[in-house]
Amino acid sequence: VIRCRAAVAWAVGKPLSVEEVEVAPPKAGEVRVKIVATGICRTDDHVLEGHFVDVDFPVIPGHEGAGIVESIGEGVTSVKPGDKVIPLCIPHCGQCSFCWNPESNFCLKSHFSEPQNLMPDKTSRFTCKGKQIHHFLWLSTFAEYTVVPEYAVAKIDPAAPLDKVCLIGCGFSTGYGAAINTAKVKPGSTCAVFGLGGVGLSVVMGCKVAGASCIIAIDINKGKFAKAKELGATDCVNPQDFQKPVQEVLTEMTGHGVDYSFEVIGHADTMTAALASCNMNTGVCVVVGVAPAGSMISFDPVLLLCGRTWKGSMLGGGKARDFIPRLVSSYLEKKFNLDLLITHTLPIAKVNEGFELLRAGK
């Protein structure tokens, strides 16, 4: 058993509490990882706010991490102690019908199919003050050590700086892959990105790498525009500057609407606006943002009748155990600059300050 620090969420709506926790050794098919760095993702904030009905408290959140394998359970062959790894929020068991499908990046071990509050054997590897603590997505990267199933971890290049590539565990790969894999943005095309947090800015980077000629970045926080332009946006739009719906603004800017639009906020109304902003025949709208549980969308089906496509994207549409290591290699080859997405670096003791910065749009 390893004793270490972790940020524990004891109840909905309460700040995280940095506690000493006990982390049990890995069982068969499991890997214990020393987490070196973790991003703070909006999804973790949704956990604290109680947006997810299938998360059990107390829980150690965090899912955007990178670390080093400390020990392995019986039967583990894909990683060994000392390997640098990224834990995967969409696992890749390699055995289910979705894993066998070359066009799918889903896995039936995913949290959309079965809860991941406990390990697959329905027990926890975390205890604190004598109480069982739940896992989050099997990852719980807000702990200095965590235990994950072997099929929820990917070995990466040993040269990778873990304090940068941790973002590839969720935010960067989700946004970049939505443009490259899900939308398949074509050279010379026009794109609109709704929401310029870390994931939205990663969509901008993906559209630029794909060769889009026009990338319109949309946010009500004008403070995001300089970074968006630095990463490849050609135009920036604040919907609050206009008296008309933003989809009308985008249609006027582009003639018939954009070729690709991306909703990276998680609001039902912006999802519909993003769909309406792409051209009526060949336009592709990709939903990346996570709406609160129970959200519903109502929209005019004529928006789809002429041929628009509405798609969702999880973790960037790539099979995680292949896609994530490839992105790490691309980063090391300087195909994109992840470092520009990092605004603050904090010790775990200041994790609540990190969430305050997130909520302030900083």
Percent of the chain with pLDDT over 90: 94
Q: Is the peptide bond before 102 cis (omega within 30 degrees of 0)?
A: no
Angle in degrees, CA 266, 181, 188, rounded to 5: 95
Residue 115 confidence (pLDDT): 86
Residue 280 has pLDDT above 90, yes or no: yes
pTM above 0.85, yes or no: yes
Average pLDDT estimate for 343-361: 95
Q: What is the pLDDT of residues 291-338, one digit of tens each?
A: 887 889 999 999 999 999 999 999 999 999 999 999 999 999 999 999
Residue 143 confidence (pLDDT): 98
Residue 150 has pLDDT above 80, yes or no: yes
How far apart are alpha carbons 125 and 39 in whole angstroms?
22
Residue 358 confidence (pLDDT): 92
- 156 or 54, which is more confident: 156
Q: What is the pLDDT of residues 229-242, one digit of tens each?
A: 999 999 999 999 99
The contacts found for 245-252 with CB under 8 angstroms, 24 or more apart, are: 245/273, 245/276, 246/218, 246/273, 246/277, 247/273, 247/274, 247/276, 247/277, 250/192, 250/216, 250/218, 250/277, 251/277
How far apart are alpha carbons 84 and 92 in whole angstroms?
18
pLDDT classification of 290: cutoffs 50, 70, 90? confident
Residue 114 has pLDDT above 90, yes or no: no
- On the 0-12 / 13-18 / 19+ scale of CB atoms within 10 A, 130 is exposed
Task: Give 251's Cβ-side CA count (13 Å radius).
Answer: 15
Q: Which residues have C-beta within 8 Å of that of residue 334, sequence separation ≥ 6?
A: none
The closest alpha carbon to 310, from 266, 256, 247, 262, belongs to 262
Residue 111 confidence (pLDDT): 87
How far apart are alpha carbons 311 and 41 in whole angstroms?
22
The total of other beta-carbon atoms located within 10 Å of residue 46's CB is: 18
Average pLDDT estimate for 195-200: 95
How far apart are alpha carbons 298 and 325 in whole angstroms?
39
The total of other beta-carbon atoms located within 10 Å of residue 225's CB is: 18
Angle in degrees, CA 182, 239, 46, rounded to 5: 60
Domains and CATH numbers, the chain: 2-170+317-360 (3.90.180.10), 175-312 (3.40.50.720)
pLDDT classification of 51: cutoffs 50, 70, 90? confident
Is the CB of residue 208 less than 8 Å from the CB of residue 193? Answer: no
pLDDT classification of 113: cutoffs 50, 70, 90? confident
Residue 293 confidence (pLDDT): 77
Task: Give 104's Cβ-side CA count (13 Å radius).
Answer: 16
Secondary structure of residue 309 in the 3-state scheme: strand
Q: What is the pLDDT of residues 95-104, one digit of tens each?
A: 999 999 999 9
Average pLDDT of the chain to the nearest whole number: 96
Residue 136 confidence (pLDDT): 96
Residue 233 confidence (pLDDT): 98
The total of other beta-carbon atoms located within 10 Å of residue 70's CB is: 19
**What tokens were used for 33?**
């990882």
**What tokens were used for 318?**
């790539």
Secondary structure of residue 299 in the 3-state scheme: coil
Q: Point out the least confidently predicted range of 106-120, 209-223, 300-314.
A: 106-120
